[in-house]
Amino acid sequence: MAEFIDPSREAFGAFRANRRETPVHMLNLVRLREVAAYPPDHEMVEKGLTGAEAYRSYGAESAPIFSGLGGRIVYRAEFEQTLIGPDVEHWDLVFIAEYPSSDAFVAMVKDPDYRKAVVHRQAAVADSRLIRLQPGAAGGVFG
Distance of CA 99 to the CA centre of its chain: 12
CATH number of the CATH domain containing 114:
3.30.70.100
Compute the distance between CA of residue 51 and CA of residue 70 in angstroms, rounded to an integer. Answer: 27
DSSP state of 72: E
Range of the domain at 70: 19-133
Instruction: Evaluate whether residue 23 is within a structural domain.
Output: yes
Residue 6, in any domain of the structure = no
CB 100 within 8 A of CB 135: no
| Residue 79, beta-bridge partner list | none
Q: What is the pTM of this model?
A: 0.93
- pLDDT beyond 80 at 2: no
Phi, psi of 119 (to 5 degrees): -60, -30
pLDDT tens digits, 113-136: 999 999 999 999 999 999 999 999
Q: Is residue 121 part of a domain?
A: yes
Question: Residue 1 falls within a domain, yes or no?
Answer: no
Q: How many domains does the chain have?
A: 1
